[in-house]
Amino acid sequence: MYYIGICDDEEMQRKRIRKMCDTFFKSRIQEYECIEFSSGEEVLQFHEKKLHLLFLDIELGEMDGLSVLRRVERADAIWRIVFVSNHAEMVWNSFSLKTLDFGRKPISFKQVEKWLSIVLHENEENIIYEFQEGDKKYYVPLDEILYFEAIGNFTYLYKNDIRILLGGHLKLWQERMGDTYFVRIHKSYLVNICNIKKVCSEKIILTDGTELLAGRKYYKTAKEQYLLFLQKKARERVI
C-alpha cells in the first residue's frame, strides 16, 4: 500500500493533484491512498501511516512548507517530498535529502507521473534486513539503518533512537552488508550511504544529525563512494 500526502491550503489544488494521482495508479496493480492536508500543522499531527510521498505547498498559513521540512527532515513519517509553489526562486530553499523535486504551479500530469514512478521504483529497492538480538528479531528497511559501530568485541546497529546489539565483529557485518549501500568511514564505523547528509574533512554528518569521525585511512574512499552514489541516484531520477 502506498500512501500519498497532498498538503495545500487551497482545496481546488488538492483535488487537482489527487485526480492526477488517481489517473496514475488506475493502470497499476499497487494499492494506494491519498491523504489531504490543508495546513502544515495537520501534516505534523498525522502519525497513522508513513507517507511515501508528500506534495507540499510552500506558501501555507502560519507554518509554511519549509518549516514543515525542518520538522520532519530527521523523522521517518515522510519518505519523499515534492514541493510545489508559484515562485520558482523558492527551489533553493527546498533542498534536502527527502526532497525529490520542486514543481511550479500548476504542476502537470507528466510531472506527477514522473515523481510517482520514481517513488515506486526507489521503494522497491528499499531492502528489508533481518537482525537478531538474543531471541528478538528486528526487520529493518534499508533507509532506516543509520550505521554500525564496533565497541570492544561487539557491533551495534543504530536505527534512529534504537540501538541493537549484534554478534560478530564490524568486518563481518561489512562483508555481509556489501559495498553497494554501506561504506566504512572509520575502524569503528560502517555507515549507510543512503543516510549520509554531508561529508566533511574529518567527519560524516548523517540525516538525523549524528556526526561521526572519519578516519584518515577511510576518508578518501568514503567520499568517492558517496559522490558516486549521488550521481547514480541523479541518473535514476531522470525518467
94 and 62, same domain (yes or no): yes
Domain-terminating residue out of 124, 145, 167:
124
Given a contact cutoff of 8 angstroms between Cβ atoms, the answer to whether 32 and 60 are in contact is no
Find the domain containing 83 and state its range. Answer: 2-124
Using the predicted structure, report yes or no on whether residue 97 has a pLDDT greater than 70.
Answer: no
Given a contact cutoff of 8 angstroms between Cβ atoms, the answer to whether 24 and 51 are in contact is no
209 and 156, same domain (yes or no): yes
CATH number (domain holding residue 218): 2.40.50.1020
Q: What is the mean pLDDT of residues 23-36?
A: 90
Place of cell 559501530: 149
Q: Is 176 exposed, middle or buried (0-12, 13-18, 19+ CB in 10 A)?
A: exposed
195 and 171, same domain (yes or no): yes
Using the predicted structure, report yes or no on whether residue 177 has a pLDDT greater than 70.
Answer: yes
Higher pLDDT, 71 or 119: 119
How many domains are contained in the chain?
Answer: 2
Domain-terminating residue out of 124, 150, 178:
124
38 and 65, same domain (yes or no): yes
Question: Which of 36-40, 93-97, 139-143 is predicted most confidently?
Answer: 36-40
Work out the mean pLDDT of the chain and round it to a whole number: 86
Higher pLDDT, 204 or 71: 204
Which tens digits make up the pLDDT trace of 100-153?
A: 888 888 999 999 999 999 998 888 877 888 898 888 888 888 888 999 999 988
Higher pLDDT, 237 or 47: 47
Using the predicted structure, report yes or no on whether residue 156 has a pLDDT greater than 70.
Answer: yes
- When mean pLDDT is compared across 39-53, 67-81, 98-112, 209-223, the lowest value belongs to 67-81
According to DSSP, the residues that pair with 203 across neighbouring strands are: 213
30 and 43, same domain (yes or no): yes
Using the predicted structure, report yes or no on whether residue 239 has a pLDDT greater than 60.
Answer: no
pTM confidence score? 0.68
Q: How far are the Cα atoms of 7, 35, 40, 49, 234 from residue 44, in angstroms, in the given order? A: 11, 13, 6, 12, 29
